[in-house]
Amino acid sequence: MPIYEFKCKKCGNEFEKFVLSYSQIKDVKCPKCGGEVEKKVSACAVGGSSGSTASGGSCTAFG
Ligand SMILES: [Zn+2]
């Protein structure tokens, strides 16, 4: 099921949201404050390096 974990950049609120398509992820807002959120990286961890901020675009294995 396409449920992704998000974290609010503004208030730090963490929540899960059902997202039908990947393009909807960028439209997700924090339900508490309406702030910008970032998707928590989960399934894309490939190597053993624990990068705290994985904002690279190399993880697009969807579909
Ligand atoms: Zn928030």
Domain boundaries, the chain: 1-63
The phi and psi torsions of 24 (rounded to 5 degrees) equal -80, -15
What is the Å distance from ligand 1's center to 50 Cα?
A: 25
What is the Å distance from ligand 1's center to 13 Cα?
A: 5
Quote the CA–CA distance of 2 and 17 in Å, as a whole number: 8
What is the Å distance from ligand 1's center to 56 Cα?
A: 23
CA-wise closest residue to 25 among 49, 4, 10, 48: 4
Name the strands in the sheet holding 37-39, side by side, starting at the edge strand that comes first in the sequence. 14-18, 3-8, 37-39
Quote the CA–CA distance of 53 and 51 in Å, as a whole number: 6
Its pTM surpasses 0.85 = no
What is the Å distance from ligand 1's center to 37 Cα?
A: 7
What is the Å distance from ligand 1's center to 32 Cα?
A: 5
- According to CATH, the topology of domain 1-63 is Rubrerythrin, domain 2 (2.20.28)
In the structure encoding, which two tokens stand for residue 53, read together? Answer: 């901020």
Tell me: the pLDDT tens digits for 3-61? 899 999 999 999 999 888 888 888 999 999 999 999 986 655 455 454 444 444 555 55
